Chains A and B, each alone.
Chain A
Amino acid sequence: MRLEPIEAPSPARRIVPPALAMAATFLVAAALALIAGGNPFAVFGLILTGAFGSKFALLETLNSATPLIFTGLAIAVAFRAKLWNIGAEAQLYAGAVLTVILGTGALGLPSYLMLPLCALAAMLAGALLLLGPALLKTRLGVDEVVTTLLFNFIFLLFISYLLEGPLKDPMGMGWPKSARLTSEARLPRIVEGLRLHWGFALALTAALLVWVINTRTTLGYEMRAVGQNAEAAGFAGIPVTRVILKTALLSGGLAGLAGFSEVSGLKGALTLDLSPGFGYTGIVVAMLALLHPLGVVVAALFVAAIFVGADSMSRAAGVPSYIADIMLASALLFMVLAILLTKFRVRRD
């Protein structure tokens, strides 16, 4: 068997494989639900109502999607330019740390200054964190997959140190936890009384902005050119190195915003379990979205719905919520295969 590239894929060619990938995902999940002793239709129904069935459930899903939109965008921006940023997890924590440093009473600013300041600082922190690996890549040819991935572990240990030492909450009963943000540094809720915070709106805006950057701005054009064919871009006079560095700043900044939004909008303080791997799940989200910024919003909602829905389903049906992780993993694998099939046809020898 071998793969033959398809020069001009038909519309069906572009739609059918991804649709089949989603169908296959649900088929796998259904089989697992059966094995676990549940009725697949009931399980999917419970996941659906668990994610969207009530106002509470819906808002929970939107809240869970928020950090994934940010990290998904961070990954999509970087991957488009073929900058393989696997370090969104660390960049997220860098943003969270800066938010905590500025927002726990060190500055006496009103909310309308405090929040933009924290957000900007979080972006800067995330951006600078990715600038290092990007410089190593452009200057010395060091593989950014290795540096960004491994730096996640180093940075998490550093956070652990901060939470045990300089940033430890003196009122925290000995828990490794930062002090709480002042109310001026908290993102308010969109509607009083409902749990959804303004971080979600910020994430939607960010997605829209990234889309505008991609399609309308000079930088977007340059980033796409460098990602598609760096050799041709360089030949045409596009400053490839500078574009990669700018991409790194944008990508890291978006991941940093995820940290700001989680601390300021949801948790109110920094702990080591702020992110259950949003930086990595962001990769799945970006891939499912085919790196399209608006697709990221949809993919993040899908992923969040499965997680939130599976949690409530497992309480009701007794099927373990791990099924969510499996669905996500199989969705990614099937989607990668589907993307291949939109571009190549399989031929038997």
Chain B
Amino acid sequence: MSTETEAQVVLRLQGITKRFGPVTANEEVSFDLHRGEVIALLGENGAGKTTLMNILFGQYTADAGEVELFGQPLPPGAPRAALDAGVGMVHQHFTLADNLTVWENIVLGVDHLSTLSLKPRQVKSRIRTLSEQFHLKVDPEAKVGRLTVGERQRVEILKALYRDAKILILDEPTAVLTPQEAKDLFATLEEAIATGLSVIFISHKLHEVMAISHRVLVLRHGKLVAERATHATNREELAALMVGAEVSAPSIESRAPGAPLLSLHQVSTPDQGAAPGLKALDLTLAAGQITGLAGVSGNGQAALSDLLSGLISPTKGELLLAGAPVASWSPRSAIAQGIARIPEDRHKTGTIADFDLTENAILETYASRFSRRGWMDWARARAFTKDLIQTYDVRCPGPDIRIRLLSGGNMQKLILGRVLEEEPQIILANQPVRGLDIGAVNYVHEQLAKARDRGAAVLLISEDLDEIMQLSDVIHVISEGRLSPGFARGSMRPEELGGWMAGNGFDAEAPDAA
């Protein structure tokens, strides 16, 4: 571990401020990163972590402040400068070409693929050396398109190491990994810092931050609110710092289940590209209950969500609503049957960016409620939207502005209002608070709890275990399209759920296990 005074400062941020219109994304952020040090950048979604890194990489120009790399000031707004100076970044969403091999991806952008000076054999042997040294097992000849998510991440890290990165930035690296893969990643990082690399680890997962970092910087609303040496702090303190003491999460009491409103019997759906479909899945959503679905992303959540949304039908098995099997299944029939759907991607699936709030608010109900003999009743639609804006506290200039101008939280409130106004019996909430600030998060959670209290069955899909454990009356884990048994609130510890998330325990459950 580095001692702050002696180790060389490799990166210094000084008074970084960035505003987007009235929103301040970063305010007076300053910190140093030392050689061989891991600092964790901790903060809720929207706290300004990504903006800060984009400034470092020249994607944005800071309104004030400066960046110093290895003692040299970094020219603002120059994307290659940080890369050339030895900063490597592994993004949440990988930037690899599927149709190229691992080694080709690694040299892409460093060397020209077509030049004669490129010596594939040397490149590959260097990659092999690096991958052994840092425990990054991956075949240089493999096509990236065929790799698992964990392997792709290793390629991204190798790419940075191949370029002699001295500073490695990892943006939410474990969001897509199983606990075992995350463990391997940490082993790699240990190795890397031993050789003098410095790491910025961006996360909102407290246990990871505690496990890997030397120092923790907490960002809240764009400001650096705290800096702690990791050994001198604990998860509780960090959690409090991250969300701030002024807002408290709604306390939600457990409820006994009511009648089953929706059941899946041995339902299977086709795989969707790399993401598995459902595999003979049984699930019952009961009235007056929030059912939480935990799991590492890409394990069948999308298939389940698409199924309940009406976008796909089961290829095998049965979908029952209030005990009766459904015949034809489409988004429109799902809505007609009283299923409220809060989609995972509110920008692409939930709203139409260039439509105004009114046009977005009636997207699901225009045909039944705002249209007569083929003519739209815009006056009524507008009045309805005005009510929605009031009732659900959507902060906006009015119903006539395009929805793309709203913040994520307000957009989500409009979607919530749109579906909850119909008094739905069943609610599907897929990642309903992703990217929202803490106030909006609490609002969404309160609304879901309220709907449950009036007797609705809620399915909450989330990758955030804390959210699942806080809200759910019963928790299932999904892994590779299979579902764990339901665990009552409070009967499971996170570590045990983590085991299920890693895929342990399913073979014993599976009826056709060898």
Contact = CB atoms under 8 A, between A and B. Distances in A.
Nearest to B310: A237
A293 to B, nearest CB: 17
A219 B364 contact: no
Interface string A211-223: 0000011111100
A237 B332 contact: yes
A232 interface: yes
B79 interface: yes
Contacts of B353: 228-229
Interface stretch (B182-190, B255-263, B367-375): B367-375
A298 B90 CA distance: 52
A235 interface: yes
Interface residues of B, number: 34
Contacts of A173: none
Contact of A235 (B309, B375, B404): B309
Given A216-B376, A217-B374, A225-B355, A232 B366 contact: no
Most A CB within 10 A of own CB, among B348, B352, B359, B378: B352
Nearest to B372: A218
A231 B348 contact: yes
Contacts of B77: 349
A236 B343 CA distance: 10
Interface string B342-381: 0100001111111100010001101100010011101000
B350 A218 contact: no
A229 B311 contact: no
B374 A218 contact: yes
Contacts of A116: none
Contact of A237 (B335, B354, B376): B335
A234 interface: yes
Given A235-B350, A236-B331, A217 B363 contact: no
Nearest to B331: A237
A74 to B, nearest CB: 21
Interface residues of A, number: 22
Contacts of B79: 349
Given A7-B404, A218-B371, A218-B376, A228 B331 contact: no
A233 interface: yes
B476 interface: no
Contacts of B309: 235
Contacts of A171: none
Nearest to A226: B352
Contacts, number: 69
A170 B76 CA distance: 79
B153 to A, nearest CB: 27
A46 B347 CA distance: 52
B348 A232 contact: yes
B374 A232 contact: no
A234 B311 contact: yes
Contacts of B225: none
A65 to B, nearest CB: 30
B375 A218 contact: yes
B349 A231 contact: yes
B405 interface: yes
A216 B349 contact: no
A240 to B, nearest CB: 10
B129 interface: no
Contacts of A239: 332
A235 B366 contact: no
Interface in A225-260: 225, 228-229, 231-239
B223 interface: no
A235 B352 contact: no
B356 to A, nearest CB: 11
Contact of B363 (A7, A232, A349): A232
A228 B405 CA distance: 16
A1 interface: no
B355 A234 contact: no
B78 interface: yes
B355 A235 contact: no
Most A CB within 10 A of own CB, among B309, B341, B363: B363
Contacts of B355: 224-225, 228
A229 B376 contact: no
A8 B405 CA distance: 7
A24 to B, nearest CB: 27
B504 interface: no
Interface in A81-110: none
A236 B375 CA distance: 19
B330 interface: yes
Contacts of A231: 348-349
Contacts of A237: 310, 330-332, 334-335, 364, 367
Contacts of A235: 309, 311, 331, 341, 343, 349-350
A235 B430 CA distance: 14
B348 A229 contact: yes
B376 A217 contact: yes
Nearest to B378: A216
B163 to A, nearest CB: 20
Interface string B262-299: 00000000000000000000000000000000000000
A232 B376 contact: no
A289 B364 CA distance: 31
A218 B366 contact: yes
Interface in B82-114: none
A236 to B, nearest CB: 4
B396 to A, nearest CB: 13
A232 B345 CA distance: 10
B22 to A, nearest CB: 12
Contacts of B352: 225, 228-229, 232-233
Contacts of B363: 225, 232-233, 236, 238
A4 to B, nearest CB: 10
Interface string B308-340: 011100000000000000000011101100000
A284 to B, nearest CB: 24
Interface string A183-217: 00000000000000000000000000000000011
Contacts of A224: 355, 359
B405 A7 contact: yes
B378 to A, nearest CB: 8
A232 B367 contact: no
B175 to A, nearest CB: 23
Given A233-B363, A234-B311, A239-B332, 20 more contacts: A7-B404, A7-B405, A216-B378, A217-B375, A217-B376, A220-B376, A221-B359, A224-B359, A225-B352, A225-B363, A228-B352, A228-B353, A228-B354, A232-B348, A232-B351, A235-B343, A237-B330, A237-B331, A237-B364, A349-B79
14 contacts: A7-B405, A8-B405, A216-B375, A218-B374, A218-B376, A221-B376, A224-B355, A225-B355, A228-B353, A232-B363, A235-B349, A236-B331, A237-B335, A349-B78
Interface of A: 7-8, 216-221, 224-225, 228-229, 231-239, 349
Interface of B: 58, 77-79, 309-311, 330-332, 334-335, 341, 343, 348-355, 359, 363-364, 366-367, 371, 374-376, 378, 404-405
